Structure 1
Amino acid sequence: MKPGLMMALSALMATSPAFAYEIGDSISPEVAEKLNLQPGKAAVVDFFASWCASCAKEIPEIHQFIEDDKSEKVQVLGVGVDEDLAEGKAWQKQLNITFPVYDDTDQQVVESFAPIGMPALYYIIDNKVVGKRIGAVNHIDKQIRADLKELGVEQ
């Protein structure tokens, strides 16, 4: 291989994520720590951004799921992908987000998952991705409940 081509390919690989988490993949310890995943709980991880109208529509339904869930077996957390922290925080405050949020201003967590759209919802059990939903879903609270039941998480 020509040296110039090898250098170009190396540069491309260095700037692209090595992979995107898919169902069955284990989460790296670094990402698990950033998300503050709680052992023994199924995690529902919601990626959102201030520019995403569908994300804003789903937040109240996610709050409804949290309010209805009395099992204490589920951890709901958000990942704000706004690069402008002040803008992201203002949007979160406007929507009265009450669940824990990791503000991913450096984009490291979102690049690890590399969702193809927003909103993006991932289910993680025992540090493994076990399910995901990409894009807007009507009545996401009911869908989360159904998905968790299908994954064997009793509510």
Structure 2
Amino acid sequence: MSAYNSLNFRILLIEDEPAEANLVKMALKENNIQCNLHHVTDGLEALEYLRNGNPENAGYQLPDIILLDVNMPRMNGQAFLTEIKSDHNLSYIPVIVFSSADSESEITTSYQLGAVSHIIKPTDMAAFIDTFRIIDAYWFKLTRLPVSKPYLDRVSIE
């Protein structure tokens, strides 16, 4: 079985804390995950990016996965999930909630709103790095995502 090359994967990171975003970038680097990462700081900025593209990149394509923090200004993660999952052109993109929010109600809400996973941010650096090794193994090597997007245009939904 051949594995995908992580260079082909596009990740949208929605994280308002610069230090947390830098930790994600460092964890990707430590695990030699050389994917295309785009970082925005809140749900509104993410929706703008998803709906209107990236003016700095003529070859812009939608992300393969979204890493989403829950607690953010302007538009929090729950409002973002509600919005993206109601948009036919974006709803197929897997959203992984990656947050320090660990209450049962927040976790349940993440899944109810359409998240494919809710991962609690590790506070230990080694565990943080290892989390991205696991994300890499699952999302970039094991999981197969559709090549053409949005694929839902060709699927009959009743």
How would you bin the TM-score normalised by the shorter chain? 0.3 to 0.5
- Name the structure, 1 or 2, with higher relative contact order (CA <8 Å, separation 6+): 1
TM-score normalised by L of structure 1: 0.33
